[in-house]
């Protein structure tokens, strides 16, 4: 069991099975039907928005003033189990508001 508990990522390059750890628990998954075609324009836009929100969350957590404000708001909610997840969701929501929703 110790071997499985320490696993993360794919077993090998060709494997469709992967392992990941979230909040101290190990999960596994399988990619059943991975796409082989190029991403559409909409998919590329969503990837860019995700990347932008991820960078904004990283920047917000590095800034002590923003981090303190986010920590206070995080403690007052129950939906998100991690501070990083909460900050990412807030930053992603800001992007949606700036771009007119989605």
- Do 59 and 83 fall within a single domain? yes
3-state secondary structure of 59: helix
- Do 54 and 77 fall within a single domain? yes
- Domain housing 17: 1-34
- Do 48 and 30 fall within a single domain? no
- Do 8 and 57 fall within a single domain? no
- Do 47 and 94 fall within a single domain? yes
Antiparallel, parallel or unpaired: β 9-10 and 17-22 = antiparallel
Give the number of domains in the chain.
2
What pLDDT tens digit does each residue of the chain (102 aa) get? 555 566 667 666 777 888 887 777 778 888 777 788 999 999 999 999 999 999 999 999 999 999 999 999 999 999 998 999 999 999 999 998 887 755
Whether this prediction's pTM lies above 0.85 is answered by no
- Do 8 and 25 fall within a single domain? yes
Q: Which of 76, 100, 17, 1 is nearest to 9 (CA)?
A: 17
């Amino acid at each position: 069991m110790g071997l499985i508990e320490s696993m993360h990522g794919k077993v090998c390059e060709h494997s469709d099975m992967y392992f990941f750890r979230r909040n101290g628990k190990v999960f596994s998954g399988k990619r059943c039907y991975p796409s082989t075609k190029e991403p559409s324009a909409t998919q590329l836009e969503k990837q860019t928005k995700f990347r932008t929100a991820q960078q904004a969350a990283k920047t917000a957590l590095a800034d002590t003033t923003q981090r303190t404000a986010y920590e206070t708001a995080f403690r007052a909610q129950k939906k998100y189990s991690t501070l990083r997840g909460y900050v990412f969701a807030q930053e992603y929501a800001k992007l949606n508001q700036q771009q007119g929703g989605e």
